[in-house]
Structure 1
Amino acid sequence: MATVAPHQPWAYALRLPHDPRAARVARMTVRAVLSGHGRGEVLDVVELLTSELVANAYRHTKGPASLRLTALGDGRLRVGVWDTSPHVPAPFDQPPGSRVPPAPVDACRGRGLLLVQAYADSWGGWSLKAGKLLWCEVGGRDTRSITQRHQSHT
């Protein structure tokens, strides 16, 4: 049962320490928030994208991170992750709609932000005085399941 109307704007913020468990904590938080707000149709996608952004913050910084989950009035959800590094990685450093090539097949890393590119409806990043903010959005008019999104990108 939803505690508020699904398209009512709201925001949650979570401060995360530099800890390898931060992505798991962020996923659990996203699952609780979206379930509580009746947004199950985007739960899997938002959970995946949150996990990738938080894991990226942990892997590439030595400081804390912050997660902000925002429901916008038109049904979209925005995930924003701030961290202490000013470096904005690809594809977030490219103009909207740009695509970066996939990681080599034998690479052990380098696919997380490509998943964000594949499953988010929009994304971006900003270098700030104290770190950077990477964000992505899903939902609104296009609330296809994660399986349908994957099939459309392969």
Structure 2
Amino acid sequence: MPDTDPWEYSLYIPNDLRAVTVSRRTLRLVLTMHGLIRLVDVAELLATELVTNAVRHTKGPAALRIRWSPPGTLRIGAWDADPEPPEPPAAFGRVEELEEGRGLALVRACADVWGWHPLARHGNRGKYVWCELASA
């Protein structure tokens, strides 16, 4: 049974493609421990796409954030140090033709809602790309 109290985890990661696997496995563990195993497969796909974009398309560190808001919303987000907006997702019909650029199209197709916003903190700039899944 999922938690009835809100919670949030943040995982700070280096600019290293191995961080994608670490993020995915951490997400699986967090969701399993909080009784949200039914969301794991889709959540892993979404987190993989968001973290991959953060690591592949920027040069600095990144972070994965996982937040649960009762009664049933899981928000997954990735922060990176690049303030440039993400490329708009390709039309889903075109995704099969592309070698790259499928990530946000998959996020748009699998999440209930997604978005991004710029961040500024302690003089550093960046962005936060997020998506949400409803547990029902």
TM-score norm. by structure 2 comes to 0.88
Partner of 1:121: 112
Q: Which runs of 5+ in 1 are unaligned?
A: 92-98, 142-154
Structure 1 stretch displaced more, 5-14 or 116-125: 5-14
2:102 to 99, 111, 116: 111
Partner of 1:139: 134
Q: What displacement does 1:128 show?
A: 2.2
* Aligned residue runs from structure 1 range 83-102, under 5 A: 83-91=80-88, 100-102=90-92
1:59-104 Cα offsets, whole Å, 9 max, x none, are: 110000011100002211001111011112244xxxxxxx742446
Partner of 1:94: none
Separation in structure 2 between the aligned mates of residue 90 and residue 41 of structure 1, nearest angstrom: 30
Q: What displacement does 1:21 show?
A: 0.5
Identical columns (%): 47
1:43 to 33, 37, 40: 40
Separation in structure 2 between the aligned mates of residue 106 and residue 77 of structure 1, nearest angstrom: 31
Change (3 A) 1:105 1:138: closer
Is contact 1:116–1:136 with CA below 8 Å preserved after alignment? yes
TM-score norm. by structure 1 comes to 0.79
Alignment pair present for 1:10 and 2:7? yes
Change (3 A) 1:104 1:69: closer
Partner of 1:31: 28
Root-mean-square deviation (Å)? 1.7
Change (3 A) 1:46 1:107: same
Separation in structure 1 between the aligned mates of residue 96 and residue 37 of structure 2, nearest angstrom: 33
Q: What displacement does 1:120 show?
A: 0.4
Separation in structure 2 between the aligned mates of residue 32 and residue 49 of structure 1, nearest angstrom: 15
Q: Which runs of 5+ in 2 are unaligned?
A: none
